[in-house]
Structure 1
């Protein structure tokens, strides 16, 4: 069962996938109905999930499920991964590269390789107040309250 993204309960579980490039307006227009259809049809052991999906900041694909209604099983999570892989193939984008971190700088999402973070901090290009899109956020409430969040309040705090 599809739930509009903005009507998710704060405890809804999230899976955030970061694109390796911005999605164009045309791509987003084509992807959004696919997301809604997937969320509508997404199920766990034959029982429909109370799910939603959204594209944020032209870069992030977010899948969500109200776990108190029906928990996502391993098989249903596998279905979601397969769906995201299909989107990758169809649109020539990568959603599974976890080696690049996303920051909001000058109103734009910028990606920084994990191996470059120390250099960027040392050069002052990233500091504890630089906004960071933590893809490890796992619930809707946290996404609404602190996403992006200052890098110094994330696991990146060890660099400052």
Structure 2
């Protein structure tokens, strides 16, 4: 059953799917039109799940479920992953394919648009000063709605990227 994201409890489970490119407003609308009916029917072992989704920053799909209402199962989680994959393949067009399983570092540089750095490019971005410990990172590892609400934007030094800054500090000392 679909419910508005704001009505889910703070302990609702969250999954974040990051697109490999910015989404157009029409793509965001199409995603929302696909997700709502999919979530209306989302169930685990025949029990409906109380769930919501939203597209954030024209780049991320945030899927959430109230585990206090009904627990998602492995099969229901797999079903949600297939839905996200299907959305990505349906959106592939002249703007390029959409991969919602992108594991690049998503950051905001100087209050501009979301930018990503592929894993192989992170070290050089740090060396060049494009990524600093103060750079704002989108924390795609949030686990709950409360975590999303308070820890969605974090400093790179407080994220999984911190290991790249340790090597820079050792070199500069």
TM-score, with length taken from structure 2: 0.88
1:75-125 deviations in whole A, cap 9, x for unaligned? 100110110111011101111122x11101132100101111111112111
Measured in 1, the distance between the counterparts of 2:53 and 2:3 equals 9
1:16 matches 2:16: yes
Measured in 2, the distance between the counterparts of 1:15 and 1:146 equals 14
TM-score, with length taken from structure 1: 0.94
Measured in 2, the distance between the counterparts of 1:60 and 1:147 equals 11
1:115-138 deviations in whole A, cap 9, x for unaligned? 111111121111111111121111
Q: What is the 5 A alignment of 1:1-160?
A: 1-92=1-92, 93-98=98-103, 100-106=104-110, 107-160=112-165
Report how many residues are paired.
159
Deviating 4+ runs (over 3 angstroms):
none
Larger radius of gyration: 2
Measured in 1, the distance between the counterparts of 2:120 and 2:29 equals 34
Measured in 1, the distance between the counterparts of 2:80 and 2:105 equals 22
Bigger mean CA offset, 46-55 vs 106-115: 106-115
Measured in 2, the distance between the counterparts of 1:38 and 1:104 equals 31
Measured in 1, the distance between the counterparts of 2:119 and 2:90 equals 27
Measured in 2, the distance between the counterparts of 1:155 and 1:111 equals 14
